[in-house]
Amino acid sequence: MVEFHELSEFVRGYVTFQFPNQASFDEESVEFKSACRDCHDFRYINSNELALAETPEYGQFELGADFWQSRNKTGTGYYDRAFINADVRFVLGQSAVSFGECSE
């Protein structure tokens, strides 16, 4: 089992929505592995844009949460963050959507 506090901040933000109210995760579960892989891939593909979006008040946890929100078209996420440059918001939002919707 992997404990919530052992995850990176980005993954913590993401799994807060993917697996609500969970404090530990079966590292062998397909869903958890997929969530971690998607977070890794998204961060790799969008490293420049994520660096431009991050602020002291909007860190890795929030960026991870917005990845989940954006990819699942919840009506909030990267597009909602007016303090992020519009071009950066667009790239992050489009990239998140390209990962497809997911649920628990």
> Which residue, 91, 28, 33, 1, is CA-closest to 15?
33
For 77-92, how does the pLDDT look when each residue is reduced to its tens digit (9 = 90+)?
999 999 999 999 999 9
Task: Say which range, 42-46, 63-67, 100-104, has the weakest mean pLDDT.
Answer: 100-104
Q: Could you tell me the pTM of the whole model?
A: 0.94
pLDDT in the model for residue 87: 97
Q: Which domain does 40 fall in, by range?
A: 2-98
Average pLDDT for the chain: 95
104 within domain boundaries: no
103 within domain boundaries: no
90 within domain boundaries: yes
10 within domain boundaries: yes
Number of domains in the chain: 1
88 within domain boundaries: yes
83 within domain boundaries: yes
